[in-house]
A and B are shown apart, each in its own frame.
Chain A
Amino acid sequence: MTQHTNGVLELVHVERTFKVGRRFVRVLDDISFSIGKGDILCLVGESGCGKTTTGKIVAGLLPPTGGEIRFLGQNVWEMNKEEFRHYRRAVQIIHQDPYSSLNPTQRVSTILTAPLLRHGIARNHKEAKEKALELLRIVDLTPPEDFYNKYPHQLSGGQRQRVSVARALTVNPEFLVADEAVSMLDVSIRVSLLQMLERLRNQMGVAYLFITHDLAVAKYFAWEGRIAVMYLGRIVEIGPTPQIINNPRHPYTKALLSAIPEADPKATRSKERVHLRSLDVPSLLNVPSGCSFHPRCPLYEAGLCDATVPQLVDVGDGVQVACHVVAREQGVA
């Protein structure tokens, strides 16, 4: 089972349901992982797999309906006010859409100085301004004076995303949840933003929960970290990035990797495809029994896969996979 090794932030059997009409939809089921200082964990999966919800739970914006989220070993939702404050500031979030993540009525100056003043990180406006300019420099918006008095609409998408990062950095966070933070940016801007996030990790020891649908970006950003592949609210495979990318075990991970078109004509045209038995993604309102991937899975075995939910098991190389067939072949079932 999941090992909790010096995780500063841990999710333990987290479950989250939402009420839709009169029914309850389970968006997350039994999610466990831990992130240590300076770690990178990438959540990948297709839309509706629950990766954004997981991000919100990690950032403390949404309480889990089952299980626990722990910060420094303590259940976040049982903390006293002071402890919760500390946690809240330690984990910040960067959103996908650079257009709705900044308040259109506020100048960059207000966006950055408000948290600095509120939490006494700067004692007065002069100090707050100095600190804000310093942050703009850190996120490569130079010269910072050019950006300090701008409104969001006067900035490009990439520049806004940098302001979002600067805003998150005002409270000296230890964790950043980056929810598709580069997906909406043009390719040439995307790389420089990723490089900047990486620099923050190297220089300030910031850890990341990096959420993306793009496995190639995950590979690039999280090469030294781990990738967790999600499907219909569960983690189906988790392990060190090179293992997941180059030696995927779970049939869903394999299918994803074989399906992704790549910017390399020879490689992408000669890829061996994993053929799924069905292209339909089941609805969360009607999750298939047993392994939720079984109606589409090429390894499907009747009576096994549709009967019990597979648990994550160690299959070596630090990889855990939730698949009956793979586990049996590895002899760990």
Chain B
Amino acid sequence: MSSFWQNVRRTFRLLTYNKVGFIGLLGVIFFILLSFVGPYVVPLDTQTKVDKIYQPPSSEFWLGTDSEGRDIFSQIVHGGKDVLVVAFLAGFISTTIAVLFGSLSALAGGWVDNAIMALADIVLTIPQFPLLAVLAGLVKFNNVTLLALILGVLSWPALTRAIRAQVLSLREREFVEAARALDLGTRHIILKEILPNMMSYIAINLIFAMTAAIYAQVGLVFLGLVPFSGSNWGVMLSLAWTRGAIFYKGSLWYIMAPVAAIALFQLSLVSFTRLLEEIFNPRLRTSV
């Protein structure tokens, strides 16, 4: 029991070691709770109230009301889920592809390496936004998974190249050579010797892939290329824009709320990466 609490204390010390990173972690947790638990607590306000248009924040409407007198806060609560799901999924997909392709490319070499790098170059040169715009015309992006898949599949090349370079350098390290001499097997070498030494790098890049996915997604929704039903921070922004919210002083809250939500979430993610570096560094892990 005491060793359990010791572990809890040590974990806490490790997490709070980097103050900025810890605040980032708290921010990420806050937005996850807000978007996934929040909707069960705060009902979505869909009722048009003509007498309550563009109200400033009050005890009734925490973030004021929109052009139809609906509560902005409830929209923020309900509008996060899709954004977060797409971000996590797209980040996860692109990072997974990058790790697989990057390692394969570096370890297999020869034509496999050439083929993967050629593919990466091609994907890298495709202008993403116009392509997405065209795709949006062809495919109906009516579910988040499909959008996440497309974003993920388009954004792996840069990381793949970086992973390949890292694996190439790690492969020449003496401890990997020793593992080869000990006949520990390719699986062990990749999973136990090489990957753990790139984990902080991979995790940090996963986060950056997520932030990129958020911008791509919000951008698409904002431009109306992806017709999302219901509320979504991007949809909110788009609606606020099309309703001319930027021209009214009173509508500031309407347009600023989704912008702030997106920006704060991104900031939390980026700050969180600072913590990741330390979590994956055994030197720090053992010194706290």
Contact = CB atoms under 8 A, between A and B. Distances in A.
Q: Direct A–B touching in the complex (beta carbon < 8 Å)?
A: yes
Q: Main SS of chain B's interface residues?
A: helix
A103 B181 contact: no
A110 to B, nearest CB: 8
A104 interface: yes
A182 B196 CA distance: 28
A223 B9 CA distance: 56
Given A59-B181, A118-B185, A153 B282 contact: yes
B12 interface: no
Nearest to A111: B175
Interface in A152-203: 153-154, 164, 167-168, 170-171
B283 A93 contact: no
Interface in A103-150: 103-106, 110, 114-115, 118-119
B286 interface: yes
A89 B183 contact: yes
Contact of A95 (B178, B192, B196): B178
Interface string A64-103: 0000000000000000000001001101110111001111
Interface residues of A, number: 33
B277 interface: no
Contact of A103 (B180, B185, B196, B286): B196
A61 B175 contact: no
Nearest to B200: A105
B181 A61 contact: yes
Interface residues of B, number: 21
Contacts of A153: 282-283, 286
Nearest to A102: B175
A102 to B, nearest CB: 6
A151 interface: yes
B282 to A, nearest CB: 5
Given A85-B183, A114-B188, A118-B185, A93 B177 contact: yes
A82 to B, nearest CB: 12
B174 A106 contact: no
Contacts of B179: 103
A168 B185 CA distance: 16
A151 B188 contact: no
A60 interface: yes
Nearest to A86: B183
19 contacts: A61-B177, A85-B183, A88-B181, A91-B181, A97-B174, A100-B175, A101-B178, A102-B175, A103-B175, A103-B179, A103-B192, A105-B282, A106-B192, A118-B183, A151-B282, A153-B283, A164-B178, A167-B178, A168-B181
Given A92-B178, A92-B182, A100-B175, 12 more contacts: A59-B181, A61-B180, A61-B181, A93-B177, A93-B178, A103-B179, A103-B193, A104-B282, A114-B182, A118-B182, A118-B183, A167-B182
